[in-house]
Amino acid sequence: MDIRIFFRKAKSLTKTLICRIVFPYYKRHGTPKVFSIEETIKLVVKHHLSVTRFGDGEYFHLCKVSTGLQKSDDNLKNKLIETILNRNPKLLVCMVDLLNQKNSLLSTKLAESYFYVLTYKKIKQYVDANRQYGNTKMTRFYIDSVDKSQCGSYFNLCKQIWEGEDVVIFEGDKTRFGVGNDLFDNVKSIRRILCPSKNAFMYYDQILTTAKTFDKKNLLLFSLGITATVAASDLTNEGFRVIDIGNLDTEYEWYRLGATKKVAIKGKQVSEVTGGTNVEEIMDEDYLSQIAGKIGIE
């Protein structure tokens, strides 16, 4: 192994372990109170809420730190601040449940404590101690869980969110959310707007303008990373119902496979695994017929 790579990995591991050691102190100060995954999904279904979700990527972008799929800037940071402070009663702001990590894999616990400690000083000012947030893992509850026995019921609850709805999906051009599985077997209709999988926020104004061309009776699902986080807030304020749906489809595919680690999925982009971005074209007629527009791609 190259000595530079060795020292880089050693430095990263040391920093992660230090963050985990001091994490209990940070956890006692300014940590958000969060509903369980089941409570969160049931709230969304019962009260027809929109959803925006804050995870490690959003925390880092609030500190103006770029991530793999999105470059950071002041505009994005300010939009995230607006979103986390949004008090629209129709919008459920979701955050990571740092107070309850019992069912998380060790690698997940380390990652969560790492990003929280590093961003704590800048994030705590936006956390309302008197508010209970939704659980950001409402769309990501399978692969990082130790006990996966409840995941089937969680997926069934999620399907109730769009049951009988006319759905419009804003997604990356190779995401193909719900294609090849039964996630959307209970919807009335599906249309798709394809956007760039990387740096989608560059096209934010165009994405919002396109979303507003649809009737507000439609349910808008966004699978566009950080862009989905802020779009859910802005569009809810405009009277739309929007779900920042994240990686739920990928989680569902792993669940169906019985996967115990993150793996590539044929025909769909999975940015977190080696080879997961090398996705072949598909000629699925139903999928192609659902594409209602494209933004920022040919």
Q: State yes or no: pLDDT of 69 exceeds 70.
A: no
Do 91 and 233 meet the contact criterion of CB atoms below 8 Å apart?
yes
Q: In the prediction, which pLDDT does 281 show?
A: 85
Q: In the prediction, which pLDDT does 98 show?
A: 83
Do 72 and 65 meet the contact criterion of CB atoms below 8 Å apart?
yes
Closest CA to 96 of 160, 171, 32, 177: 32
Closest CA to 271 of 202, 203, 220, 224: 224
Q: Where are the alpha helices (DSSP H) in the chain?
A: 3-27, 37-47, 56-62, 74-84, 106-123, 151-159, 204-211, 226-237, 248-257, 285-290
What integer is the mean pLDDT of 195-214? Answer: 95
Q: Within its chain, how far is the Cα of 281 from the centroid? A: 24
**Residues contacting 107, CB < 8 A, separation 6+:** 144
Rounded distance, CA 156 to CA 169, Å?
A: 19
Determine which of 20-24, 56-60, 283-287 has the lowest per-residue pLDDT on average.
56-60
Rounded distance, CA 296 to CA 207, Å?
A: 9
Instruction: Report the share of the chain in percent with pLDDT over 70.
Output: 96
**Beta-bridge mates of residue 93:** 52
> Tokens for 99?
């107070």
Q: In the prediction, which pLDDT does 70 show?
A: 66
Which amino acid, residue 206?
A: Q
Q: State yes or no: pLDDT of 71 exceeds 80.
A: no
Query: In the predicted model, what is the mean pLDDT of the chain?
Result: 90
Q: In the prediction, which pLDDT does 83 show?
A: 97
pLDDT tens track for 18-42: 888 888 877 777 788 999 999 999 9
Q: Between the CA of residue 169 and those of 79, 100, 112, 262, 278, what are the distances in Å?
A: 21, 32, 29, 24, 22
What integer is the mean pLDDT of 220-241? Answer: 97
Closest CA to 189 of 217, 216, 168: 168
Do 128 and 34 meet the contact criterion of CB atoms below 8 Å apart?
no
Q: In the prediction, which pLDDT does 280 show?
A: 83
Do 90 and 49 meet the contact criterion of CB atoms below 8 Å apart?
yes
Q: In the prediction, which pLDDT does 201 show?
A: 92
Rounded distance, CA 83 to CA 52, Å?
A: 8
**Beta-bridge mates of residue 241:** 219
3-state SS of 213-246 is CCCCCCEEEEECCHHHHHHHHHHHHCCCEEEECC
pLDDT tens track for 120-178: 878 888 889 889 999 999 999 999 999 999 999 999 999 999 999 999 999 999 999 99
